[in-house]
Amino acid sequence: MDNLTITSFHKGLVAREFSAREAAESYFKKIAAGNPSLNAYLSTAEASALEAAADADARVADARARGAEDAIPALMGVPLAIKDNILIKGLPATAASNILAGYTASYDAGVTAKLKAAHAVFLGKTNMDEFAMGSSTETSAFGIAHNPHDTDRVPGGSSGGSAAAVAADLAVAALGSDTGGSIRQPASLCGIVGFKPTYGAVSRAGLIAMASSLDQIGPLTKTVEDAALLYEAIAGADPLDATSTDEGALAARGIASLPPLAEVTRLTIGLPKEYFVDGLDKDVAARVEGAIAKLKKMGFAFKEISLPHTRYALSCYYIVMPAEVSSNLARFDGIRYARMPKVAEAVAVREASLMDIYLKQRGLGLGTEAKRRVLLGTFVLSSGYYDAYYEKAQRVRTLITNDFAAAFEGVDAILTPVAPSPAFKIGEKANDPLSMYLEDIFTIPVNLAGLPGLSLPTEPYPLGGGTLPVGFQLIGKKWHEADILNIGRHYERN
């Protein structure tokens, strides 16, 4: 049972090639063998997964007995990995932070509830940058994750554990979250597919929030077809998330069926001149150009466009995002959710004030990058600086959104690089925050504008005697997920 996709798993399950329990047991053996060198999983859930797999097998047997094999859901029994900032009732949820070490989720996130209803199987929770703050999974409090293509290199971030698990076949597919590229960038660096839906298309209820106006849950998969299937299962409004809407479910309806190529090639693809600039690795640029050439050969028309305010996106993001981080992380004081045992040693509780306890808890519990962003966010929201920084950044965000709206008057999708380079060495950028932030320079504008984005692999990057994965990005109009997924599926087939 190697390199199964959601589609091939479903066919094998229905054809009685294996049972859901046998598949789950096989994946736990793979995790036991592969995870020590990758650190892709922070925790596994063997008991609950095998129980869910047995339930799936019983439902499949019942469907066969009724002659209703066609009614077996596409995700029945599929072994999935879930990023550790997405809640699953009864399982750990640490967001890769010491301040949540020992916390167990008391309810399901909106997406995991939907996946349970589809009878998927959760193998475990995956590693990530602490509170999703990073582009390499090096800020995790529980150890660095490694890229399966070269374990001396990062898998990207912040959903690096999910990307590594799928790329190494330690899961059929996974969920991650994307605030500024955290699904698409690790997908590119690990050679898989990563999909960020339109903001509001998928519920954020039960997602440990980083930046609430930017966060979005989405799939990391081996194929674009699988991304479409997983998106269809999790899309739609949720009464527990006021920003979610049924537009997501409408956009996902029937998305698993693929129109013929002749129909899809009616779409025009835009190439923004601001994305193909100095700073983009020449070999990465060559691979993206190769993807463009293949799409042209398939019959797609291209048009040069301009997104003039792209140059301000990184600066805008690193004001808006830390401001929301400062607000969202205020709830994590080391007392609620989980108590830190070290505090008992560090603080004489009876003699300390509540403020002393909070300061010590957060000082011990939060990592360097989390502290950096909390401090920056608190500063830009403070009296005398709000208008100069935060309000101005929100105005720039509107200009970036308007740029995309104007561009989409003449094109149906936009093609860009995902990351400026392939996977870099572990530690190479750890002490250079600006260099790390630049990893998301091509993905951040999509989040600021609330648009859907898809990362998919192109030709690999040459490196000495080997290669590294490279991805390219397709950006769609709001609620037009089908456009970029259909382009991606035909590209994949050709």
Which positions are annotated as active-site residues? 83, 158, 182
Rounded distance between C-alpha atoms, residue 4 and residue 9, angstroms = 6
Of residues 165, 293, 289, 291, the one with CA closest to residue 222: 165
Burial (0-12, 13-18, 19+ Cβ within 10 Å), 418: buried
Rounded distance between C-alpha atoms, residue 186 and residue 167, angstroms = 10
**Residue 177 per-residue DSSP state:** E
Q: How many helices (H) and strands (E) does the chain have?
A: 18, 13
Residue with tokens 């690999």: 460
Burial (0-12, 13-18, 19+ Cβ within 10 Å), 264: buried
Count CB neighbours of 359 within 10 A.
Answer: 15
Rounded distance between C-alpha atoms, residue 380 and residue 181, angstroms = 23
User: Across-strand partners of 126?
Assistant: 41, 83
**C-alpha to C-alpha distances, 181 to 56, 438, 443, nearest whole angstrom:** 34, 11, 5
Of residues 220, 210, 214, the one with CA closest to residue 186: 220
Count CB neighbours of 133 within 10 A.
Answer: 31
Rounded distance between C-alpha atoms, residue 80 and residue 53, angstroms = 12
Residue with tokens 């060495």: 425
Q: Supply 226's token pair.
A: 């699988």
- Is the sign of the CA dihedral 256, 248, 452, 205 positive or negative? negative
Rounded distance between C-alpha atoms, residue 276 and residue 40, angstroms = 32
Residue with tokens 């190769």: 290
Give the DSSP letter string of 458-486.
Answer: -SPEEETTEEE--EEEEEE-TT-HHHHHH
State residue 270 phi and psi, 5-degree precision.
-95, 145
Rounded distance between C-alpha atoms, residue 43 and residue 41, angstroms = 5
Residues whose CB is less than 8 angstroms from the CB of residue 257 and which lie 6 or more positions away in sequence, other chains included: none
